């Protein structure tokens, strides 16, 4: 089965964004990302934290999938 693009590891995320997944989760929780549109969340990461577009989308999807699973 193909690995989903949002199924990433800390090493990859930290290398590309400067922060680990747990740090991004705290940031997105504080932002209230669970209640926002995914495009708005990705835009926030790009604008406020200079996260590259691909990684902003990856982090957003990763975050929202985790929240849905809870």
Cα 22 to Cα 1, 6, 9, 10, distances in angstroms: 26, 14, 11, 8
pTM for this prediction: 0.89
pLDDT in tens, the chain (70 residues): 456 877 889 999 999 999 999 999 999 999 999 999 999 999 999 999 999 999 999 999 999 988 887 7
Is residue 61 in a domain? yes
Q: What is the DSSP letter of 60?
A: H
Per the structure, the complete domain to which residue 54 belongs is given by 19-69
Q: Do 42 and 53 meet the contact criterion of CB atoms below 8 Å apart?
A: yes
pLDDT at 2: 56
Overall number of domains in the chain = 1
In-domain check, residue 27: yes
3-state secondary structure 9-42: CHHHHHHHHCCCHHHHHHHHHHHCHHHCCHHHHH
């Amino acid at each position: 089965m193909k690995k989903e693009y949002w199924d990433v590891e800390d090493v990859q995320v930290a290398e590309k964004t400067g922060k680990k997944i747990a740090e991004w989760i705290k940031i997105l929780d504080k932002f209230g990302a669970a209640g926002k549109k995914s495009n708005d969340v990705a835009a926030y990461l790009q604008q406020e934290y200079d996260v590259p577009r691909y990684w902003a989308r990856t982090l957003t999807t990763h975050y929202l999938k985790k929240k849905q699973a809870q």
